[in-house]
Amino acid sequence: MASSLKRCFKGILIALLVLLLAAAALVYYVGAWHILFPSSQHDVKAPTLPVALESPAILLFSKTNQFRHKEGIVAGRARLAQIAQERGWAVFSTENGAVFNPDDLQRFAAVVFLNATGDMLSTEQQLAFQRWLEQGGGWLGIHAAGDGSHKAWPWYMENLIGAKFTAHIMGPQFQTARVLVEDEQHPLMLGLPSEWEHEEEWYSWESSPRVNGFHVLATVDEDSYSPVVKLFNKERSLRMDDHPVIWSNCVGKGRSIYSALGHSAESFDQSEHRKLLENALAWTLGLSDSHCPSLLN
Tell me the C-alpha distance between 138 and 109, whole Å: 6
Residues 6+ apart with CB under 8 A from 117: 34, 64, 65, 66, 67, 68, 144, 145, 147, 149, 150
Q: Domains in the chain: how many in total?
A: 1
295 within a domain of the structure (yes/no)? no
Between residues 134 and 66, the one the model is more confident about: 134
The share of the chain scoring above pLDDT 70, in percent, equals 85
Burial of 191 (0-12, 13-18, 19+ CB in 10 A): exposed
Partnered with residue 200 across adjacent β-strands are 175
| Model pLDDT, residue 296 | 42
What was the pLDDT predicted at 231?
A: 87
Mean per-residue pLDDT for 151-178? Answer: 97
For 178-216, write each residue's pLDDT tens digit.
999 999 999 999 999 999 999 999 999 999 999 999 999
Residue 240 domain-assigned (yes or no): no
Give the per-residue pLDDT at 62. 98
Residue 32 has pLDDT above 70, yes or no: no
CA distances from 10 to 18, 22, 23, 24 (A): 12, 18, 20, 21
pLDDT score of 17: 58
Give the model's pLDDT for residue 5.
58
Is there a domain that residue 272 lies in? yes
Amino acid at site 46: A
Q: How far is CA 95 from the centre of its chain?
A: 14
Q: Give residue 295's pLDDT.
A: 47
User: Residue 89: which domain range?
Assistant: 57-165+208-223+245-284
**Which pLDDT band holds residue 31 (cuts at 50, 70, 90)?**
very low
User: What does the pLDDT read at residue 134?
Assistant: 98
Task: Give the long-range contacts of residues 147-151, CB within 8 A, separation 24 or more.
Answer: 147/67, 147/117, 147/203, 149/38, 149/65, 149/66, 149/67, 149/117, 149/118, 149/119, 150/117, 150/118
pLDDT at 289 over 90: no
pLDDT tens digit sequence for 237-260: 999 999 999 999 999 999 999 999
User: 293 pLDDT exceeds 90?
Assistant: no
The 10s digit of each residue's pLDDT in 34-51 is 556 656 789 899 999 999
The closest of 224, 187, 229 to 204, measured between CA atoms, is: 229
CATH assignment of the domain containing 83: 3.40.50.880
Question: Does pLDDT of 11 surpass 90?
Answer: no
Does 190 map to a domain?
A: no
Structural domain contains residue 76: yes
In a domain, 10, yes or no: no
Average pLDDT over residues 211-223: 98
Q: Are the CB atoms for 43 and 65 separated by under 8 Å?
A: no
